[in-house]
């Protein structure tokens, strides 16, 4: 039975268990936690060698800088447009007016950070101990260190070949482990849905249905209008891209964790035809700086709270909200409950009380599923756009693009190529799993 079908069945069973037997549903969370632990234990051992190899195989450090620059510029432009869409939609619908803010309990926020320390964020990105960074799951720190190692390997050339071979083997093994982990994803789905329904229930759903509707409508506009427009400009086959990652977006939706599909997402994108170097660099970077679904939620949440407390929502005030979120949303890397923390920090910055944010926590799991799924789609599109841009540039220069060269090699026996790498074999395995 395909993983997608198993996950749908798990959703139904989880909802039933959570609704009919809440005590059992609360205990089922251990299945979800075990699944996420399995995912997280393999993410950095896989992402690190892929980034290092991807950068080391680029023909110049200049290309690394160019791809990084394109990715960061894309992230900034797209997230800013999404923030404007969210603020406009929330303002026009008037969500939050008359909301029962008196029912909010600020104690719900006591376990969360009340702001983002940019000094700590910078130190987080440049860890003093890479092994500690790995043990803490510091993805941003691992990316920065992998960037340095990849550039160094490219600089020393052939002398780095033995180390590259070791990293190649590590990535191959980790991809195999990921294949095993994804097979148990439906159990994680069952555990999370049972717990969510049992623990949160739907008590606040009626009073916050407008907020939920605006967030979902905004996300539909993003994936149904904005993303197709971007894809058309860069000649990305958007519908085919969505089909290729649909199962992974579904798993991220239910588990509320984009990390759960990070490794297989890169394999799917390479099977779609994207360059290994681009994918292995842009996707992990996007997990830290390109949270499209999350920024839409944060913008809608700020307008909701402003309306609930009768705060200023004039055009200048809304533009200030957008500006604050543009800055704070890039500080989400490595922060637990990142979207809520950014919402608190942004609210504090513009004088909104945290009690309103506490009100949103009652339905956070409902919107968290959608924003997480959109984050995955947004990062897949970002990688495709950057890769398409590189293809155009190399076509003008008269050089074959990496993905094209790889595809040619795959037509023959991959063992006969000089450097087949682990990703093509993993991509083929994913296609076989989908067929089954």
Each residue's pLDDT, cut to its tens digit, for the chain (436 residues) gives 777 678 778 888 988 998 888 889 889 889 888 887 887 788 788 878 888 887 887 766 677 788 888 998 999 999 999 999 999 999 998 888 877 665 555 554 444 444 445 566 677 678 888 888 888 777 778 888 888 898 888 888 888 889 989 998 998 898 788 778 878 888 888 887 788 778 766 655 566 788 889 999 999 999 999 999 999 999 999 999 999 999 889 888 888 878 778 888 988 998 899 988 888 889 888 887 888 888 899 899 888 888 888 887 888 888 888 888 887 776 554 444 566 767 777 777 677 776 677 777 767 778 888 888 999 999 999 999 999 998 888 777 665 555 444 433 333 333 333 344 444 444 454 455 555 5
The pLDDT value recorded for residue 418 is 38
Cβ pair 422, 175 in contact under 8 A: yes
Return the closest-CA partner of residue 197 out of 329, 32, 20, 30.
20
CA distances from 274 to 198, 236, 384 (A): 41, 10, 7
Q: Is the dihedral of CA 16, 18, 20, 21 positive or negative?
A: positive
Rg, the chain, Cα only: 22
The pLDDT value recorded for residue 7 is 77
201: three-class secondary structure by DSSP: coil
The pLDDT tens digits for 56-109 are: 877 666 777 888 889 989 999 999 999 999 999 999 988 888 776 655 555 544
The pLDDT tens digits for 7-56 are: 778 888 988 998 888 889 889 889 888 887 887 788 788 878 888 887 88
Backbone angles phi, psi at 121, to 5 degrees: -60, -45
Instruction: Write the CB contacts of 17 (distance below 8 Å, at least 6 apart in sequence).
Output: 24, 25, 28, 190, 194, 197, 198
* CA–CA separation, 275 and 264 (whole Å): 15
* CA–CA separation, 300 and 222 (whole Å): 14
> What's the start-to-end Cα distance of the chain, in Å?
7
The pLDDT value recorded for residue 336 is 44
Return the closest-CA partner of residue 386 out of 230, 223, 259, 221.
230
Other beta carbons less than 10 A from residue 45's beta carbon: 16
421: three-class secondary structure by DSSP: coil
Return the closest-CA partner of residue 328 out of 351, 298, 300.
298
The pLDDT value recorded for residue 369 is 85
* CA–CA separation, 166 and 156 (whole Å): 16
Residue ranges and CATH numbers for the domains of the chain are 3-435 (1.10.3860.10)
Cβ pair 375, 248 in contact under 8 A: no
The conformational region for residue 157 under phi > 0 = left, psi -120 to 50 = alpha, else beta, is left
CA distances from 60 to 154, 259, 401 (A): 7, 30, 14
CB burial of residue 77 (10 Å; 0-12, 13-18, 19+): exposed
Q: How far is CA 252 from the centre of its chain?
A: 9
Return the closest-CA partner of residue 332 out of 48, 146, 110, 124.
124
The pLDDT value recorded for residue 236 is 93
57: three-class secondary structure by DSSP: coil
The pLDDT value recorded for residue 232 is 94
Instruction: Write the CB contacts of 411 (distance below 8 Å, at least 6 apart in sequence).
Output: none
The pLDDT value recorded for residue 225 is 95
Give the tokens for residue 191.
């555990």
* CA–CA separation, 298 and 209 (whole Å): 16
Return the closest-CA partner of residue 306 out of 113, 99, 85, 103.
99
What pTM does this model have? 0.73
DSSP, residue by residue, 3-28: HHHHHHHHHHHHHHHHHH-HHHHHHT
138: three-class secondary structure by DSSP: coil
């Amino acid at each position: 039975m395909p993983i997608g079908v198993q996950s749908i069945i798990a959703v139904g069973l989880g909802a039933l268990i959570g609704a009919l037997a809440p005590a059992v549903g609360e205990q089922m969370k251990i299945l979800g936690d075990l699944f996420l632990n399995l995912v997280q234990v393999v993410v950095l051992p896989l992402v690190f060698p892929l980034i290092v190899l991807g950068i080391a195989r680029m023909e110049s450090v200049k290309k690394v800088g160019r791809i990084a620059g394109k990715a960061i510029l894309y992230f900034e432009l797209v997230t800013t447009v999404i923030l404007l869409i969210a603020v406009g939609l929330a303002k026009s619908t008037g969500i939050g007016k008359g909301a029962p803010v008196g029912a909010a309990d600020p104690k719900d926020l006591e376990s969360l950070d009340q702001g983002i320390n940019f000094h700590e964020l910078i130190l987080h990105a440049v860890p003093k101990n890479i092994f500690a960074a790995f043990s803490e799951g510091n993805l941003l720190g691992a990316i920065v260190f992998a960037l340095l190692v990849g550039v160094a390997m490219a600089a020393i050339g052939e002398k780095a070949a033995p180390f590259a071979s070791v990293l190649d083997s590590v990535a191959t093994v980790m991809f195999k482990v990921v294949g095993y982990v994804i097979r148990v994803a439906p159990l994680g789905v069952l555990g999370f849905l049972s717990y969510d329904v049992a623990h949160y229930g739907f008590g606040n759903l009626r009073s916050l249905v407008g907020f939920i509707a605006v967030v979902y409508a905004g996300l539909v506009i993003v994936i149904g209008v904005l993303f197709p427009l971007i894809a058309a400009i860069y000649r990305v086959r958007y519908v085919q891209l969505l089909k290729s990652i649909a199962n992974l977006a579904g798993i991220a939706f239910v588990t509320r964790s984009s990390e759960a599909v990070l490794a297989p997402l890169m394999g799917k994108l390479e099977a779609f035809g994207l360059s290994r170097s681009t994918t292995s660099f842009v996707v992990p970077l996007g997990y830290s700086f390109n949270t499209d679904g999350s920024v839409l939620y944060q913008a809608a949440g700020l307008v909701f709270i402003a309306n609930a407390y009768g705060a200023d929502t004039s055009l200048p005030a809304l533009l200030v909200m957008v500006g604050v979120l543009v800055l704070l949303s890039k500080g989400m890397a490595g922060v637990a409950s990142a979207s809520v923390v950014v919402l608190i920090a942004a609210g504090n910055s513009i004088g909104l009380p945290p009690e309103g944010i506490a009100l949103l926590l009652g339905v956070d799991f409902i919107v968290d599923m959608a924003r997480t799924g959109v984050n995955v789609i947004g990062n897949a599109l970002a990688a495709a756009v950057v890769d398409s841009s590189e293809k155009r540039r190399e076509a003008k220069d008269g050089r074959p693009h990496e993905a094209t060269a790889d595809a040619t090699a795959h037509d023959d026996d991959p063992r006969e190529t000089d450097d087949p790498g682990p990703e093509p074999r993993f991509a083929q395995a994913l296609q076989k799993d989908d067929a089954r």
